[in-house]
């Protein structure tokens, strides 16, 4: 009965709100599906040079889970030992008791700023976040950058930092950006992520970067700084994922644990919407729970009903487990490799049946959705109309912490 009422009210709201005018367009790439600036398409076979934000992507074969990637040289490296050939233990009894970990007060943690433009909510304000993967969008004119994203209603930025020679690039500009963002009521969260972070050397590299960012924050005591750190590790982009799914997700869970411990607190975690439908999903999610500040769910769909169906399951889970849930939508252009894992219709009956065997998991080709059903592809009027409609509906769940958008146009004019 409750779900029917939610759906009825949401459909009415959707009809009313989506007619509101808006004008936006653009694409921004994601770290795991790095953007080719010439073709405006993500290319998972190209590895971006993180130390140089202006560099072109350089050719690098998709990494196999047994391969080693280049490390950032550190004078005092962090020892990480993972046996790539043995399954990692996910025994809950060997992990911290999540029942003893203080739960965040979901209601009190909601950002208090009033969203502007066409995104205003009557009951209580929700976060509207965006990923930003390019330093060129803000390092020359942080004032213009903040003004532009604020006009879109953004109050949180997931910001990729560039690190070279054990230092954050553009540190002075970053400090300026943090000050301006603070004055405008906008939070900035560092985002890190690459599929290779689950590998031994990749994880060591990630922890070294983690420590550099942490030390930067420690120097900013009582000054505007980063509001936290987020990990967007998408292990299914590794070349041998289809052959080693269980092991790879175990390694992913172990990486989350180690990164949280290195940070000294809970971290934000980006996950695909179908994570709850993989083998050992309960064990994986239970394992990372003590280290998770909030979950950003990549609900990469454009259809109202599909977004609702997928999100409702995660929001209900968030209510039951007192976890904040952010619903992420895509506005960019995806590579075929990335699109592969978001083109299967794992909704409704398939999820209800809980089909997790190899013959009916997320790689089933029985129900393929079109690309236009995955990304809004720059149609920001439709994107924001959808966000408006669903925000009212999703506010019925206390775990709902807002939306995140990948692919907004925030390049300098």
Opening angle at CA 350, ends 347 and 307, nearest 5: 5
Does 336 score more than 80 pLDDT? no
Tokens describing residue 412: 């300098």
Ordered alpha helix ranges (H), 64-195? 142-151, 171-183
Q: How many CB atoms lie within 10 A of CB 183?
A: 10
- Residue 192 reports pLDDT greater than 80: yes
Structure confidence at residue 232 as a pLDDT band (50, 70, 90):
very high
| pLDDT score at 93 | 52
Point out the least confidently predicted range of 33-47, 66-80, 86-100: 33-47
Listed in sequence order, the residues at least 6 apart from 119 whose beta carbon sits closer than 8 Å to its beta carbon are 128, 152, 153, 384, 387, 388, 391
Q: What is the pLDDT of residue 71?
A: 35
Whole-number Å distance between alpha carbons of 176 and 160: 16
122 φ, ψ (degrees, to nearest 5):
-85, -40
pTM recorded for the entire structure: 0.71
pLDDT exceeds cutoff 50 at 162? yes
Between 170 and 98, the higher pLDDT residue: 170
Query: DSSP labels for 186-235?
Result: -EEEEEE--GGGGSHHHHHHHHHHHHHHHHHHHTTTTS-----EEE---G
Nearest by Cα to 342 from 265, 234, 240: 234
Cβ–Cβ under 8 Å, residues 189 and 154: no
Residue range 206-218, pLDDT digits in tens: 999 999 999 999 9
Residue 252 is given by DSSP the state H
Predicted pLDDT of residue 371: 78
| Cα–Cα distance measured from residue 331 to residue 311, given in angstroms and rounded to the nearest whole number | 17
Q: What is the pLDDT of residues 15-65, one digit of tens each?
A: 444 444 443 333 333 333 333 333 223 322 223 333 343 433 222 223 344
Residues 6+ apart with CB under 8 A from 247: 65, 87, 88
State how far the Cα of 163 lies from the Cα of 31, in Å rounded to an integer. 14
CB-based contact 376:383 (threshold 8 Å): yes
């Amino acid at each position: 009965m409750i779900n029917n009422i939610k759906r009825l009210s949401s459909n009415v709201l959707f009809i009313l709100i989506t007619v509101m005018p808006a004008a936006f367009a653009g694409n921004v790439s994601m770290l795991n599906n790095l953007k080719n600036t010439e073709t405006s398409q993500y290319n998972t076979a190209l590895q971006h040079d993180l130390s140089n934000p202006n560099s072109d992507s350089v050719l690098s074969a998709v990494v196999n889970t047994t391969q080693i990637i280049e490390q950032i040289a550190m004078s005092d490296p962090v020892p990480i030992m993972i046996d790539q050939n043995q399954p990692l233990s996910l025994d809950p009894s060997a992990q911290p008791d999540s029942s003893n970990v203080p739960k965040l007060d979901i209601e009190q943690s909601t950002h208090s700023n009033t969203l502007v433009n066409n995104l205003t909510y009557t009951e209580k304000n929700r976060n509207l976040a965006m990923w930003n993967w390019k330093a060129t969008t803000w390092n020359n004119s942080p004032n213009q950058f903040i003004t532009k994203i604020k006009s879109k209603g953004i109050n949180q930025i997931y910001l990729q930092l560039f690190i070279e020679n054990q230092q954050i690039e553009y540190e002075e500009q970053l400090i300026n950006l943090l000050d301006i963002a603070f004055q405008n009521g906008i939070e900035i969260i560092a985002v890190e992520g690459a599929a290779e972070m689950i590998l031994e050397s990749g994880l060591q590299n990630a922890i070294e970067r983690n420590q550099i960012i942490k030390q930067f924050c420690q120097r900013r005591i009582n000054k505007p700084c980063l509001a936290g750190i987020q990990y967007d590790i998408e292990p299914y982009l590794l070349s041998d994922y289809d052959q080693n799914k269980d092991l790879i997700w175990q390694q992913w869970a172990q990486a989350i644990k180690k990164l949280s411990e290195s940070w000294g607190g809970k971290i934000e975690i980006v996950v695909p919407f179908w994570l709850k439908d993989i083998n050992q999903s309960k064990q994986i999610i239970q394992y990372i729970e003590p280290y998770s500040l909030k979950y950003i769910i990549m609900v990469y769909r454009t259809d109202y009903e599909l977004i609702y169906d997928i999100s409702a399951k995660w929001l209900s889970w968030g209510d039951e487990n007192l976890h904040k849930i952010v619903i992420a939508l895509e506005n960019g252009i995806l590579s075929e490799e990335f699109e592969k894992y978001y083109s299967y219709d794992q909704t409704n009956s398939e999820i209800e049946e809980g089909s997790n065997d190899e013959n009916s998991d997320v790689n089933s080709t029985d129900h393929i959705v079109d690309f236009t059903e995955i990304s809004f592809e720059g149609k920001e009027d439709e994107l924001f109309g959808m966000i408006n409609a669903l925000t009212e509906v999703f506010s019925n769940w206390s775990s709902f912490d807002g939306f995140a958008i990948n692919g907004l146009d925030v390049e300098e004019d």
